[in-house]
Homo-oligomer: A and B are copies of this chain.
Amino acid sequence: MKPSYKHIKVIGFDADDTLWVNETYFREAEQKFAAMLSKFETPNKIDQELFQLEMKNLPLYGYGIKGFVLSMVEMALKLSNYTVQNEVIEKIINIGKDMLDKPVELLDGVQEVLENLEHKYRLILVTKGDLLDQERKLEKSKLTHYFHHIEVLSDKQTSNYSALLNHLDIKPSEFLMIGNSLKSDVLPIVELKANAIHVPFHTTWLHEQVTENETNGKSYLTLNSLRDIIPLLN
């Protein structure tokens, strides 16, 4: 059965890994980081430790590249037992600058989908992380004109979305969220009885992964490609 989206007025698009490549750059950065510190630990152990430190720092730093870089610097000091060379610290900082300066690589079908939906719905960009970084990516993407505005949330939990719907002054049934993360773009939306469509990206950050238990009994649609949205919303 084709789900009904006839009440939808506003569509929220996640940005990273829904409209453009993001997670891939973090994975590449982690690989470079592990290679630089390979004399102190195995890549696998470095990955694990870095993830744990990121989670520890998350309440203070929040999401985004700058906090990630600060955690890498701190990790390098600890992993090396305070013997890491200054040049390695500099390289870590430069990894971050390169990430912030990366060109935006649009995912398949994005332009076509936005083109098709822009006159029928109010489209907004709903993302978490660093405001400046997200604004910069939106500008580089040349997609700005499709979106009514950009909403940067400090986190994507149910309470953040609830505040967003209030702010937009619409009912849950009138909102559809589209994104690659079950944890951030889909489950909190289902919780609010709004609509969500899941379009997976090939790589998911460990922090965004959910168990089968969490998705059990939840109603949402998973699509293989963003393009498959078009017939559902027309």
Contacts and interface: CB of A to CB of B under 8 A. Distances in A.
Interface of A: 60-62, 66-67, 69-70, 73-74, 77, 80, 82-87, 89-90, 93, 96-97, 100-101, 130-133, 135, 149, 152-155, 163, 167
A62 B93 contact: no
Given A66-B61, A86-B83, A154 B131 contact: yes
A62 B132 contact: yes
A30 to B, nearest CB: 18
Nearest to A61: B66
Specify the main secondary structure of chain A where it touches its partner: helix
A135 B155 CA distance: 11
A170 to B, nearest CB: 15
Assembly stoichiometry (copies): 2
Given A149-B163, A149-B167, A152-B152, 12 more contacts: A60-B100, A61-B100, A61-B132, A62-B130, A62-B133, A70-B93, A70-B96, A73-B89, A77-B90, A82-B90, A131-B153, A135-B154
B62 A77 contact: no
A66 B77 contact: no
**Among A61, A96, A132: residue with most chain B CB under 10 A:** A132
Contacts of A133: 62
A62 B131 contact: yes
A29 B36 CA distance: 30
A62 to B, nearest CB: 4
12 contacts: A62-B130, A62-B132, A62-B133, A66-B70, A70-B93, A70-B96, A77-B86, A82-B87, A83-B86, A84-B86, A131-B131, A152-B152
Contact of A80 (B73, B80, B86, B100): B86
CB-based closest 6 A-B pairs: A62-B132, A82-B86, A66-B66, A132-B154, A60-B100, A131-B154
A61 B66 CA distance: 8
A77 to B, nearest CB: 5
